[in-house]
Structure 1
């Protein structure tokens, strides 16, 4: 298994070796650590843990890659390994997030705090790294803004069963009703799929207490309300076979939305907007972000 960490503080090789040994439950003599840009001739290539580090610039000091042989049993997840490494080394550790966002990382502190972070790399060669934001306050990084990271939330998978059912039913009706299925803008079915999925994703998150962060950005919430606006317009112009399916799906989601909200709007200037703009989740999930 490979582990890829970015380390905030500079660590000597001996501390890297000790921290990896502890995190991976192997003897220190089984860990080989070396500077990637240094001499490689005296390395122990058969070591159970073979690690390279590189000095980097900016808000992180070291990039660390560790390869662990299959002979090492009980290999921890990258998250667990990073947490133990941070605890033993006494420094903040970053590791890549699952989402397909280059700037998305997890961060773990020596005390065990785990949060999302946005890490940016400059266009310089070599790049300069900056920790742009975190989702929870990190004592070691007091100057870093605390905020939700919408680019990560967008990438998180949320099941949308009603949207899936709509697409399946529309596909079955296509032959009988001549419904075009071209997946492109302007096609009624495409527009319905995109906007219904947006509306459903937000409502599913609401139903789980805004899992996993317990919070939700205002701009993403408003995007879902605007998707509901478009569904209302589409429901008056869509082909009849699609219209019946769409009305049923939207009706189910609307009822769920009502059950998770109360009367009253958190926004100004929406007097002429649809009723969904005049209900609010309690508490507001973006407060304090």
Structure 2
């Protein structure tokens, strides 16, 4: 099969990009033709770089900067303390309506695409009639803009009022979710989540047709991430073999939801625990 993997970055170190590239590598090992499709900046040289559509209005500064203007002028000043995870405007993206780059593919797999594919762009991709699979790396695909709902379940209804935006006079979250539900409830739209929890959230959102959401764990390179003898591994990393070691990682440890403050508090309590020290 020929599989197009759409992501905002074709190369890079973000979690979604790494997952997409790992998937591409795994598909290729199984004999499929898989290519990354992304905007020109940061695209995979082996993949496809999608340019913005050339129209008479392509240089309209308001149109070309719409997402940034909305983020800086409206969303940013209205963010509440509930969450500091991304909240993306989804009003402008790359048009695929007159793009033949996807015609030759059998399946279209979409990963992390803020600023690349807005709901109306996704609608045009769905119009190709091919199976379109959203690989969920957060909750943004089925909310009114938040990438993490921070315990709010209003994405199951209409995202109004949004607890992450104060004085939302435009009712941006409600409009965004309503737009998604109006444009995207297609039988050929599927979602894959790396956890059962995220899959359950997506199923409850009402965006996807019943049965079109599955939980499939992300793949990793088992030749790299493989068990090793502990003493030898510590020696290779220059770690004292007698020291208790805990590994913690996050792309952005300043995000509240990553829980670094809780992790550090746990370590502080455990350091004097006779059963651990």
Question: So what's the TM-score if we normalise by structure 1?
Answer: 0.30
Larger Rg: 1
Structure that is richer in helix per residue: 1
Structure that is richer in strand per residue: 1
